A and B are shown apart, each in its own frame.
Chain A
């Protein structure tokens, strides 16, 4: 039943090559759980047989599905709460001054999965920006299937139950059969495109705000560094970066400095021309 070391190594190699994600030994259970639906779809009773077939008859489409299944992360609306609170309390007051000319805010939600994060950002900006301001959010993901789901903006009852305040559910969603659909007023400001964070980026940005949460943890240090360097190239000099609560730029890329924002941290690019100090100027938050 369980995967052999060789089968696991094949899957780990595939995911590392295509998505730069490291699957350490001990994650066999994850591979089993995530690939079982794919095995069933292919009419095979076990994950082991499915993996064997994928090895013997390499089909790009099956490989893409495997990478998809193993790189899709659990997500929910307003995940972790605090970053969205700080968007309102810390980031927007700053940007309302700095962007008072253009009156528009451009946001990137990286690894946006089924779209809960970009739509959460859209709800927050829609409800917090003063009249006359506009916003533009782009969600990206490596998985074509997730992008299709996110673009549709359709969520099950179980998904809208997770983390979404009821007043926002009734304000920003409409019933659509057994599902809920994000209202067109929000969807018109949110777009999606495919992007592999581990490969060179296409032309992107510049952004005022970048959310790239709970994805760096899956990369090795060298890939983390490369991704953060590329992200810096998409961020406006005074833009804001949010990482997952277990992630940091410290010790990886010192072009960023940490800014304490409420009970969480955000990151900003150090001012151009100012040498990076050996020790971060911002205290531990």
Chain B
């Protein structure tokens, strides 16, 4: 089984967007990055087992609020921080689970962690496997797959 590719991320993202974020096909995730990817908000899930690493969904704050507004069916202006955490976390869970199905078995998926402070969390000893940079409604959204390089004995707790 080969590592997941940007093409795989595109297929997964397209399905997530058409199911929840772009119901009428008018606002797809366009796989061209905006000038500068923004990472105001990052949701991550960890994969452990036969393969170890992380799947990150990072986006600008407006994009994160758009995700929350779409999933929760509320107005953009009414989106609270906890809404962003819930919605972005679920997005990372869905994308992460689909990425996991491309990896060697058996693997387990962690619950999502969401950072809304602009830090995207710390991932020591990792190497990037692939990433998908896109824009959604003119805002930055990035999906990144990181593989742990530390062997099991030296893995951070």
A and B touch in the complex (CB under 8 A): yes
Chain A residues in the interface with B (C-beta under 8 A)? 33, 156-158, 175, 177-179
Stretch at the interface among B11-19, B38-46, B127-135: B11-19
B98 adjacent to A178 (CB under 8 Å): yes
Smallest CB separation, A122 vs chain B (Å): 24
Given contacts A177-B8, A178-B8, A178-B11, contact A158 B102 (CB under 8 A): no
**B residues near A158, Cβ cutoff 8 Å:** 15, 18-19
Q: Which 8 A-B pairs have the closest CB atoms?
A: A178-B11, A178-B8, A158-B15, A178-B12, A157-B15, A177-B8, A156-B15, A177-B102
Chain A to chain B contacts (Cβ below 8 Å), 15 pairs = A33-B25, A156-B11, A157-B15, A158-B18, A175-B101, A177-B8, A177-B11, A177-B102, A178-B8, A178-B11, A178-B12, A178-B98, A178-B101, A178-B102, A179-B11
Query: How far is A157 from B11 in the complex, measured between Cα atoms in Å?
Result: 10
Count, A-B residue pairs, CB within 8 A: 19
Cα distance A206–B153 in the bound complex, in angstroms: 66
Q: Kindly state the separation between the CA atoms of A130 and B101 in the bound complex, as whole angstroms.
A: 35
Residue of B nearest to A157 (CB): B15
Contact mask B103-123 → A, CB, 8 Å, 1/0?
000000000000000000000
**How many whole Å from A39's CB to the nearest CB in chain B?**
13
Known: A158-B15, A177-B11, A178-B101. 16 other contacts (CB 8 A): A33-B25, A156-B11, A156-B15, A157-B15, A157-B98, A158-B18, A158-B19, A175-B101, A177-B8, A177-B102, A178-B8, A178-B11, A178-B12, A178-B98, A178-B102, A179-B11
Q: Determine the distance from Cα of A33 to Cα of B18 in the docked complex, in whole angstroms.
A: 15
Q: In the complex, what distance in Å separates the CA atom of A179 from the CA atom of B11?
A: 9
Give the one of A175, A177, A178, A179 with max B CB within 10 A. A178
Q: Majority SS of interface residues in chain B?
A: helix
Residues in A neighbouring B101, C-beta threshold 8 A: 175, 178
Chain B residues contacting A178 (CB-CB under 8 Å) are 8, 11-12, 98, 101-102
Shortest A126–chain B CB gap in Å is: 25
| Chain A residues within 8 Å of B18, by CB | 158
Give CA–CA (A67, B11) in the complex, Å: 26
Residues on the A chain within 8 Å of B98, using CB: 157, 178
CA distance A175 to B25 in the complex (A): 27
B132 to A: closest C-beta gap in Å? 12
A272, B146: Cα distance in complex, Å: 70
Interface 0/1 of B12-39, CB less than 8 Å to A: 1001001100000100000000000000
The answer for the CA separation of A177 and B98 in the assembled complex, in Å, is 10
Question: What's the nearest-Cβ distance from chain B to residue A41, in Å?
Answer: 14
User: Chain A nearest CB: distance from B133 CB in Å?
Assistant: 18
Residues on A with C-beta less than 8 A from B11 are 156, 177-179
B129 to A: closest C-beta gap in Å: 14
Q: Whole-angstrom distance from the CB of B94 to the nearest CB of chain A?
A: 10
Closest Cβ neighbor of A178 among chain B residues:
B11
Closest Cβ–Cβ distance, residue A72 to chain B (whole Å): 15
Contacts of A179 in B (CB 8 A): 11
Point out the residues of chain B lying under 8 angstroms from A157, CB to CB.
15, 98
Chain A min CB distance to B142 (Å): 18
Q: What's the minimum C-beta distance from A159 to chain B, rounded to whole angstroms?
A: 10
Contacts of A175 in B (CB 8 A): 101
Per the bound structure, the CA–CA distance linking A158 and B19 in Å amounts to: 9
Please name the residue on chain A nearest to B101 by beta carbon.
Answer: A175
- Expressed in whole angstroms, the Cα–Cα distance for A157 and B97 within the complex equals 12
Central interface residue in A33, A157, A175, by most chain B CB within 10 Å: A157
Which A residues lie within 8 Å of B15 (CB)? 156-158
- CB of B20 to closest CB in A, whole Å: 11
Q: Smallest Cβ distance from A257 to chain B, in angstroms?
A: 44
- How far is B8's CA from A14's CA once the two chains are assembled, in angstroms? 37
Inter-chain CA distance A158–B16, complex, in Å, is 9
What residues on A are CB-neighbors of B8 within 8 Å? 177-178
Q: Which residue of A lies closest to B105 (CB)?
A: A175
